Each structure stands twice: as structure tokens, then as C-alpha cells.
Amino acid sequence: MAQSGCDNGKACEQVAGSDTPACFAPVELHGRVMNLANNAGVAGARVVALDVNGAAASGVAISAADGRYALQVPAQRGAGGAPSAFPVTLRADAVGFQSFPGTIRQPLPIDVATATPLNGSYVVQSALTDIGLIAQAAAAGAIHGHVAVADDHPGVLVVAEASGKGFAVIAARDGDYAIFNLAAGHYTVTAYARGHVYTPGETDVTGDVKLDLALASSAPGSLSGQIEIVNGGTGSTTSVVAFVESTFDPVTGRGAPPPGLRAPSSGPPSVSGAFTIDGVPPGKYVVVAAFENDDLVRDPDHCIAGTADVHVQVAAGQAAPIATSFKVTGALAVMSPGATQAEAVTAAPALRWADDSSEDHYVVEVFDSFGQRVWNTTISGVSGGTPTVTYGGPMAPGMYYQFRVTSTKTQGGTGTTCELSRSEDLRGVFYVP
């Protein structure tokens, strides 16, 4: 794609150490979108690159009939034209498929600095640029359009909501968006971008409809609260994320966060006490602490205060303090499978995790990629050993699963069972190739 001010086929890019941009061969990600169940190509998938904050870093590439795509990604260059280090992840949406990433599936970063010259472009093509999608029941409805993008390109989340259920997508860098697989009905469509406010739109979906969204003049608000780390073990700092309430699933504890609605706003987790998230668009949110891999989890103990999901409404231009502090505690360390990233298994895996020192029992649950619990069991506590149980649930080809463990203890005086700790939100993922 030609860029303004450059000859056809060249891209106008920033140059490291210079205020003057220059024209270079474009950087492209080449890959294939496929059905994980049978490896068939997925046509018409929308592929977008996201930066480390979850904001769009590119336009949209549409996959061909065989699933192949080529996505141009803007990238700072060295004096010779080679791209500088810039990690991105990929998002893909297609009719009849679950979006990637989603629920238990998380993307791995791709550094555009690894691109090599090929046919007049700098190209990255690897296993990381191939995207496997999981088929789901298709609905004929879709909403597409354009979102006005502010000059600071904050990244825009677009949510279509009907009957309290939200369906979300990240708009491309130029504001182009499309939300697939919508049932017929009336939808309210809202855009969320840190530091900006949008005027919501309304539409009836019976097929594919177009709806553009404009910036409003209202001021954003803010969120603030307090983290309390109790028995943190190796974890000492964490992060806080705001999910749009209508997208939040209380079973999986996940939802769609507008890019940048996080404390800290970027970088590794660093919150250990008070926190503030500025630039919050008006709306309803579920605020979650210790969602990332930081050796900490939200304390699951319902026997104490500060452990329930926090729902908050932010008004335009207003501060929204959270009255109850978040209780955060040390996580149960996952040993296998999925200690650091999704792990392939060809037979029922042995689920293993580090022992909790004071538990009576462990509750083990396994969820599929749609957030459905497909298997669970309870085992007695292990004193000084490694708790292990063999998975006894389904193993569908192409499906991703996540096991979660919660340690429990029964109070002697009341007989009440209280949760002590659990495994982290993003660990314990395995899949069947």
C-alpha cells in the first residue's frame, strides 16, 4: 500500500534519531488464517496488528480464499531502512468463528525487527503469523463502519450491546471496524478510547448493517482505588484492568478492556497500593486486579471482604473512587501443562501445580475456549508433595482448554469452606493439535 509522499509501493516511516520521515520498503506480516479443526483456510477474516497496549497498530488485511493474508505494519526504521524493534500481536475476526484472541487464548508477540527483505518488502512470516480459529455457531448479523480516530491514536474498542450482552472488536488504526456473528435484534454500539468520549449509536440488525461513530465533546472520567496484597509470596506488584461490563464473563473472569484502561497505563505490573486510571470514557465497567501473570491473584476467599467482582459506573468528567480495596494474594503456581504458554498435548495430561501450605482440598476445573466448564473434580490436600490429577474431560482436535485450581480450607468452628488461593488467569492452557 503506497503512503503519502512516497513512490508507489514505498512506505513513509519515522527514522530512529531523526525528526524527518523517509520512504522505505514496507514491513508486512504474511500468514494464513485457518480452521483449527481441519486446517482449512478461512476466507474473509479481518486481521489487525495490535501494540503492547492492545491498540491497533495497523490497518486491516482480509484473508483470501485459502486463508492467506499480507498485513502492512508501520514501523520505525534505522538509517538503512531495516525496521526497529516493535512487538505486535495479531487479532483475527471471521464469520462463523470465535475471535482470536479470546477467552483462554492469548497471542504471542511478533517483533517486526525480525523482518527480512523479500520481493520489495520487509516480511515476517513464521508460525506466529499463522492464526488458527475455532468454529462456532454462525449468526447472520454484522455491524461495520468507521469510528472517528483522535489525533493521538489511542486505540478504540467498539462494543455492540443487546439485552446486556456485549460483543467487542478493536477498530483498525484508521477507524475501520466490523463485528460479526450477531443475532438479529436491536443493538447499542459504543466506542471506548482512553482520553476520549464517543456518541453511541443505535441500530437494528437483520443482516449486515453500517454504522459510523463520532467523537463527542464530553470529558472522560477516572477510576481510583486501593490494592491490598496479603501473603503475596513471590508477587509484590500487580496491575488493574477495566473491562466493559457487558463483555465481562463472571465464570472466566474476563472481558474486553479498552486499550490503555489499566494501571499502570503501560509496562510491567507496578501497583502495590493506591492506583488511578485516567481518561476513562463514561460507561459501566468491571474492574479487576491481578489479571496478568505476576504471581498474584485476586483473593478468592468469600469469607473475607474485598474479594467480589467490582462493578463501577463512570460518568463523563467525573471521578469514580472504588470504596472497597482489592484483596490480592499469592497464586498457586502452575507446573504443567501451560506453565508459561499454551502447550500441545496428544493424550490426557497430568495436571500439576505447586502445593499450598494450609489447604484441605483442591478444586480443579477445566474450561474450553468458549468459557464452558467441561470437567471438574476435587482432590484432598497434599502435604509437601506436588498435587497432580489426570484430566478426564473431552479432547476435541483444535480445541484449547485451561485448567484452574483453587485451594480450600474448612473452618473448624463453623464448617464453612473458604478459598485460600488459586492459579493465575492466563496460565494452565493446553490444546489438542
pLDDT in tens, 249-278: 998 889 999 999 999 999 999 999 999 999
* pLDDT of 36 strictly over 50: yes
Of 408, 409, 405, nearest to 422 by C-alpha is 405
Which pLDDT does position 28 carry in this prediction? 98
Chain position carrying cell 482470536: 100
What is the full DSSP assignment across 123-158? EE-SGGG-EEE-B----SEEEEEEB---TT----EE
Contact 235, 296 (CB under 8 A): yes
* pLDDT of 13 strictly over 90: yes
The secondary structure of residue 215, as a DSSP letter, is: B
**How far is residue 314 from each of residues 124, 227, 322, measured CA to CA in Å?**
41, 19, 11
Which pLDDT does position 4 carry in this prediction? 63
Which pLDDT does position 156 carry in this prediction? 98
Which pLDDT does position 219 carry in this prediction? 97
What confidence category does residue 306 fall into, taking pLDDT thresholds of 50, 70 and 90? Answer: low
Which residues, at least 6 apart from 71, have a Cβ–Cβ distance to it below 8 Å?
A: 28, 29, 30, 31, 47, 48, 49, 58, 59, 60, 61, 90
* pLDDT of 423 strictly over 90: yes
Kindly state the helix (H) or strand (E) to which residue 197 belongs, with its residue range. none
Longest dimension (CA), the chain: 79
Q: Which of helix, strand or coil describes residue 415?
A: coil
Which pLDDT does position 324 carry in this prediction? 85
What confidence category does residue 307 fall into, taking pLDDT thresholds of 50, 70 and 90? Answer: confident
pLDDT in tens, 39-80: 999 999 999 999 999 999 999 999 999 999 999 999 999 989
For CA atoms 130, 172, 218, 211, give the dihedral sign: negative
**How far is residue 296 from each of residues 3, 232, 310, 419, measured CA to CA in Å?**
45, 7, 18, 15
Tell me phi and psi for residue 110, to 5 degrees: -120, 125
What confidence category does residue 214 fall into, taking pLDDT thresholds of 50, 70 and 90? Answer: very high
Average pLDDT in the 342-347 region? 97
Q: Show the domains of the chain with their CATH numbers.
A: 11-133 (2.60.40.10), 141-210 (2.60.40.1120), 221-330 (2.60.40), 334-431 (2.60.40)
Which pLDDT does position 2 carry in this prediction? 44
* pLDDT of 147 strictly over 70: yes
Q: Which of helix, strand or coil describes residue 206?
A: coil
Average pLDDT in the 136-149 region? 94
Give the helix ranges, DSSP H, for 181-328. none
Residue 224 burial (CB count, 10 A)? 15
pLDDT in tens, 85-97: 999 999 999 999 9
Average pLDDT in the 334-361 region? 95
The secondary structure of residue 202, as a DSSP letter, is: E
Which pLDDT does position 419 carry in this prediction? 93
* pLDDT of 304 strictly over 90: no
Which pLDDT does position 7 carry in this prediction? 85
The grid coordinates of residue 358 equal 494450609
What percentage of residues in the chain have a pLDDT greater than 90?
87
Average pLDDT in the 205-211 region? 97
For CA atoms 96, 101, 105, 111, give the dihedral sign: positive
The larger pLDDT score, comparing residue 306 to residue 63, is at 63
What confidence category does residue 183 fall into, taking pLDDT thresholds of 50, 70 and 90? Answer: very high
Chain position carrying cell 482480509: 62
The grid coordinates of residue 258 equal 479498552
Of 170, 41, 9, 161, nearest to 99 by C-alpha is 170
The grid coordinates of residue 345 equal 498435548
Which pLDDT does position 1 carry in this prediction? 43
* pLDDT of 3 strictly over 70: no
Average pLDDT in the 24-51 region? 97
What is the full DSSP assignment across 305-373? SS-S-EEEEE-TT-EEE-SSPEEEEEPBPEEES-SSS-EE-SSPPEEEEPPPTT-SEEEEEEEETTS-E
Which of 5-19, 165-179, 184-198 is the least confident region?
5-19
* pLDDT of 413 strictly over 80: no
Which pLDDT does position 100 carry in this prediction? 97
Average pLDDT along the chain: 95
